[in-house]
């Protein structure tokens, strides 16, 4: 169903889009480091909190992408368009509801989670969260539109939008921090503007009928309970999984907050570099959803199994190469961060631990899991992801970081062990072939 050229045209734009997005995250961290270590710490702590909601929006979009891809595979383009339109509607309603709650409860929640941090760090947290929250609807709407374009294989469109969006963000960061001296707000407002542009651009393009699968007003303004049930049947387990995963990360961030400003700063910088290192697997997740989803929609499990193997080989090969390159560059870029020497040294160790396990275990723990979800094996993957997140990552983090006094190094090792356990479980599940018996549409 997919030639090598088709796969290349799907993967390369997605990779470049994700690379641009992650480079902007690095630029945010780099620019804010010139304000103060308190500002770096505040932004990194809130980003761990923001990610809860970002992943919920992504989970919702992924549920829609699976249904759209399966409809396309079964040649039901009108139903695919209706599913995409319903995804836009529910994404908007959900994200606006989250914004209202956060604007009302943001400060008390931050105080509950990060209450023991220094006062200047807390002020940076509050400022960054308030501005970030306004961009949530734009993020949700963009994810809905991007899910449609990725499902139809036109990933170059979202790549071009990312180019313009990231230019807006980077230029805005430089103006906000170095010209306007706006501190944390100087990197928060450009992100809001860039995300709003991306949402508007992709939504306009999703109304184009020549795509074959497109938005239509009558489908956006209608509540199709049956279709939403199918979308949410994938999105809710995935969202619960991601929500618990991110809550655990926030809990771990509150543990990190116990270790002092230099470890918080090192962890924040390392997370930005981790995002860059994980780029191959982040790229391949949507590829698995599109390819496996269309194969299963066409009812061809043999073709789906073939592409499972092929995409796993591609993911492993390029993940090893990419993680090696990123680690080799880490000592080169660290002197450019305006932080203490001990912060730089700790960051390099954190990146080493992450990259080793990211290239050998994460391809099985994440992209393979997304492929199983696209095939319909939803509950199993969601349950085991939650089990390993709590039973391995959280408990081991408390043991290593606090009991054994390993600090953020212990948290990084616990994350890696989580991936290893999940990788083994998902690969065994794939080899047994039970995913072949599921049907979503």
Between the alpha carbon of residue 178 and those of residues 37, 129, 182, 228, 265, the distances in Å are: 16, 21, 8, 46, 21
CB neighbourhood size of 167 (10 A): 13
Higher-pLDDT residue of 325, 29? 325
Cβ atoms 186, 174 nearer than 8 A: no
CB neighbourhood size of 35 (10 A): 21
Q: What are phi and psi of 375, to 5 degrees?
A: -80, -10
Q: 0.85 cut: is pTM over it?
A: no
Q: Please, which residues have CB within 8 angstroms of residue 316's CB and are 6 or more apart in sequence? A: 359, 360, 363
Angle between helices 261-277 and 341-360 (to 10 degrees): 40
In tens, the pLDDT along 211-267 reads: 889 998 888 988 888 888 888 888 888 888 877 877 787 788 778 777 777 788 888
pLDDT, position 25: 66
Cβ atoms 259, 20 nearer than 8 A: no
User: Helix or strand or coil: residue 27?
Assistant: helix
Angle between helices 408-432 and 225-256 (to 10 degrees): 150
Given 3-state DSSP classes, what are the helix, strand and coil percentages for the chain, each rounded to the nearest 5?
A: 85, 0, 15
Of 84, 103, 100, residue with least CA distance to 209: 84
**Mean local confidence (pLDDT), 406-424:** 93
Cβ atoms 9, 155 nearer than 8 A: yes
In whole angstroms, what is the distance from residue 440 CA to residue 66 CA?
9
In tens, the pLDDT along 257-293 reads: 777 777 888 888 888 788 889 999 999 999 999 999 9
């Amino acid at each position: 169903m997919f030639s090598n050229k088709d796969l290349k045209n799907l993967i390369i734009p997605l990779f470049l889009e994700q690379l641009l997005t992650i480079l902007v995250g690095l630029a945010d961290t780099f620019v804010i480091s010139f304000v103060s270590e308190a500002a770096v710490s505040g932004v990194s702590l809130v980003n761990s909190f923001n990610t809860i909601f970002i992943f919920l929006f992504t989970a919702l979009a992924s549920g829609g992408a699976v249904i759209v891809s399966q409809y396309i595979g079964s040649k039901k383009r009108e139903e695919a368009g209706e599913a995409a339109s319903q995804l836009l509607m529910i994404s908007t309603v959900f994200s606006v509801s989250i914004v209202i709650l956060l604007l009302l409860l943001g400060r008390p929640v931050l105080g509950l989670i990060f209450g023991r941090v220094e006062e200047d760090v807390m002020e940076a947290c509050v400022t960054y969260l308030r501005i970030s929250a306004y961009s949530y609807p734009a993020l949700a709407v963009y994810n809905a539109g991007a899910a449609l374009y990725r499902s139809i294989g036109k990933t170059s469109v979202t790549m071009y939008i990312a180019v313009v969006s990231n230019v807006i963000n980077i230029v805005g960061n430089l103006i906000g921090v170095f010209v306007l001296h706006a501190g944390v707000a100087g990197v928060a407002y450009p992100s809001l503007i860039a995300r709003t542009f991306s949402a508007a651009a992709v939504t306009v393009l999703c109304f184009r009928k020549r795509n074959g699968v497109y938005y239509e007003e009558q489908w956006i303004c209608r509540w199709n309970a049956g279709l939403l049930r199918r979308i949410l049947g994938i999105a809710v387990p995935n969202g619960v999984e991601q929500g618990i995963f991110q809550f655990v990360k926030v809990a771990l961030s509150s543990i990190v907050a116990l270790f002092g400003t230099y470890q918080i700063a090192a962890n924040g910088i390392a997370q930005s570099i981790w995002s860059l290192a994980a780029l191959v697997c982040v790229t391949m997740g949507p590829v698995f959803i599109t390819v496996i989803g269309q194969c299963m929609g066409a009812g061809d499990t043999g073709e789906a199994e073939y592409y499972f193997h092929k995409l796993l080989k591609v993911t492993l090969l390029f993940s090893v190469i990419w993680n090696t390159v990123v680690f080799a560059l880490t000592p080169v870029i660290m002197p450019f961060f305006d932080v203490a020497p001990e912060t730089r040294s700790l960051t390099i160790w954190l990146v080493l631990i992450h990259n080793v396990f990211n290239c050998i275990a994460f391809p099985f723990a994440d992209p393979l899991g997304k492929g199983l979800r696209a095939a319909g094996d939803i509950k199993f993957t969601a349950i085991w992801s939650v089990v390993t997140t709590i039973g391995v990552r959280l408990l081991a983090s408390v043991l290593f970081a606090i009991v054994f006094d390993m600090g953020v190094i212990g948290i990084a090792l616990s994350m890696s062990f989580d991936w290893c356990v999940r990788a083994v479980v998902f690969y065994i599940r794939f080899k047994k072939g039970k995913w072949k018996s599921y049907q979503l549409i």
